[in-house]
């Protein structure tokens, strides 16, 4: 059973009498453990698609199934619970709490989970260690580089052991060196840890770190194909 399946998905934003069609009959399925890039230019609908897949927004028509259950059958409370427990998010802007330590930033999703509090410290330490930031655990975001901030965001996405990780332009605010560090971690999460990864990007080079690319143009799928010549981010960038 696919972890994600969408069929004839449409999204329309309405402002009074004005309708803006953002997604048009989008259909695809993703198996557990896949690494898929959603690629397209600005305005192609890729972020809107991510928001729907990540239970941050609802589609207008069509069908979306997550782990075999139709999204329309979830209550708002169930959407929030599944989003917290089974989905991890990494955004271009990091979205870290500014005057909060790395440890406490990474711990935030656990505060809304059903995981016992006496387990939190070990889980947070393991997540931070997995992105090679144990030496920054008591630092605040203002004391970190852009690449380090994104690695904190990845650790935060991992603490609930999600079924799928959504990464929205995760290298967009980073220099090439830091971007390669982040992509190395994301590839490792897929290849070694088995996480299902959705990578949103407008860059062909970044998309080709995935195993499959779905190209969106004007809200429709232009192509859906495996990557023949993948880029592998070098482990030398993790320090």
Q: What share of the chain is helix, strand, coil (3-state, %, to 5)?
A: 35, 30, 35
List, in order, residues 6 or more apart from 15 with CB less than 8 Å away. Answer: none
The answer to whether residues 80 and 30 touch, using CB atoms and an 8 Å cutoff, is no
Beta strands in 44-192 (DSSP E): 61-66, 69-70, 87-91, 164-168
Distances (CA, A) of 168 to 6, 36, 61, 203: 19, 12, 23, 12
59-68, 184-193, 215-224: least confident range: 184-193
The overall average pLDDT reported for the chain is 92
Band of pLDDT at residue 6, cut at 50, 70 and 90: very high
Mean pLDDT of 120-147: 94
Band of pLDDT at residue 238, cut at 50, 70 and 90: very low
pLDDT above 90: residue 94:
no
Band of pLDDT at residue 93, cut at 50, 70 and 90: confident
Phi, psi of 182 (to 5 degrees): -65, -40
pLDDT at 215: 97
Q: Name the percent of the chain lying above pLDDT 70.
A: 97
pLDDT above 90: residue 113:
no
pLDDT above 50: residue 118:
yes
Radius of gyration, CA atoms only, the chain: 18
pLDDT at 234: 60
pLDDT at 239: 41
What is the per-residue pLDDT across 192-236, written as a single tens digit (0 to 9) for each?
889 999 999 999 999 999 999 999 999 999 999 999 988 887 644
What is the per-residue pLDDT across 145-184, written as a single tens digit (0 to 9) for each?
999 999 999 999 999 999 999 999 999 888 888 888 899 9
The answer to whether residues 109 and 84 touch, using CB atoms and an 8 Å cutoff, is yes
pLDDT above 70: residue 76:
yes
d(CA 90, CA 3): 19
d(CA 191, CA 127): 17
Q: Name the percent of the chain lying above pLDDT 90.
A: 78
């Amino acid at each position: 059973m696919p972890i994600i399946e969408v069929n004839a998905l449409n999204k329309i934003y309405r402002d009074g009498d004005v309708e803006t069609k953002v997604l048009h009959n989008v259909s695809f399925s993703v198996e557990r453990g896949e690494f898929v890039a959603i690629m397209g230019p600005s305005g192609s609908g890729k972020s809107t698609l991510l928001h729907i897949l990540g239970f941050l927004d609802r589609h207008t028509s069509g069908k979306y199934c997550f782990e075999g259950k139709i999204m329309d059958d979830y209550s708002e409370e169930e959407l929030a619970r599944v989003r917290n427990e089974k989905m991890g998010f990494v955004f271009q802007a990091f979205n870290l709490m500014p005057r909060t330590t790395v440890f406490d930033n990474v711990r935030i999703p656990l505060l809304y989970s059903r995981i016992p509090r006496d387990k939190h410290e070990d889980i947070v330490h393991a997540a931070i260690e997995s992105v090679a930031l144990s030496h920054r655990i008591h630092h605040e975001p203002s004391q970190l580089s852009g690449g380090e901030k994104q690695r904190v965001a990845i650790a935060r996405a991992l603490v609930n052991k999600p079924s799928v990780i959504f990464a929205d332009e995760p290298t967009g605010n980073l220099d090439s060196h830091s971007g390669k560090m982040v992509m190395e971690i994301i590839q490792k999460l897929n290849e070694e840890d088995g996480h299902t990864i959705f990578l949103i990007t407008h860059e062909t080079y970044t998309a080709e770190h995935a195993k499959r690319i779905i190209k969106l143009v004007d809200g429709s799928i232009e192509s859906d194909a495996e990557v023949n010549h993948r880029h592998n981010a070098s482990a030398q960038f993790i320090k």
